[in-house]
Amino acid sequence: MPLGIVTGMASEARIFGADALTISAGGDAGATRAGIESLISRGADRLVSFGIAGALDPSLKPGDLVIGGAVRTTDGLRVPVDQKWLAHLTTHLTSARVADVVGSTRIAATAEQKAMLHRDSGAACIDQESHWVADAAHANHLPFIVIRAIADRAGDSLPPAVLVGLDKQGQPRTGAVVGALLRDPSQLPGLIRVALQTNSALKSLLRGRAALLR
């Protein structure tokens, strides 16, 4: 059964190599939807929202794994993941937390925004792909699951340069980030923190990959 892996960053997609069908779309809504349709047309019959996420629950720290029990949208919808798949993954990722995740086209960039989303949804983390994966899975009658590794904490606010960091293929926009940094050098400590937290999350995702390929 071909896996269809939906990510934001190309570095997340590369974790699977040739072992799955993958797309990365940089958090762009149109590119993500088109990418998911391309996965289905190429034969993917299971969809995975996979990659890093921002914590909404203050108890989560960088590197923690979350398996989505359901996807919540900013419009208040709740879409459960495939329950048999969820049960299978929890036997192989015993240290992961099972919790709802929020899928949102907009990044939750500030601690205040994260606190509000946590209060309103009860979800543990947020990403930019899971709602599109849930929508496509429902429309095409396919099972789906969510595996996310925490990068930024609930109390972290992201430096503005992070928001321009990816293109629509999930590749780094180094020039845009450098330009933003030159305009405001005070972002440098925050960017270093984000890089370290992202690296920790990417290492944790290797465990998620292993569980998905069992």
Q: Where in the chain are the domains?
A: 3-212
144-160: average pLDDT: 97
Class of domain 3-212: alpha beta
What pLDDT digit, counting tens, does each position of 55-84 carry? 999 999 999 999 999 999 888 899 999 999
pLDDT band at 186 (very low <50, low <70, confident <90, very high): very high
* Closest by Cα among 28, 185, 35 to 107: 28
- Give Cα 147 distance to the centre of its chain: 8
CA separation for the pair 22, 40 (Å, rounded): 11
Q: Which of 16, 60, 67 is nearest to 152 (CA)?
A: 60
Is the model's pLDDT at 1 over the cut of 90? no
- So what's the pLDDT on residue 76? 84
CA pair distance 52, 204, nearest whole angstrom:
9
pLDDT greater than 80 at residue 195: yes
Q: What average pLDDT score do residues 148-169 get? A: 95
Please give the Cα distance from 102 to 123 (Å, whole number): 6
pTM: 0.95
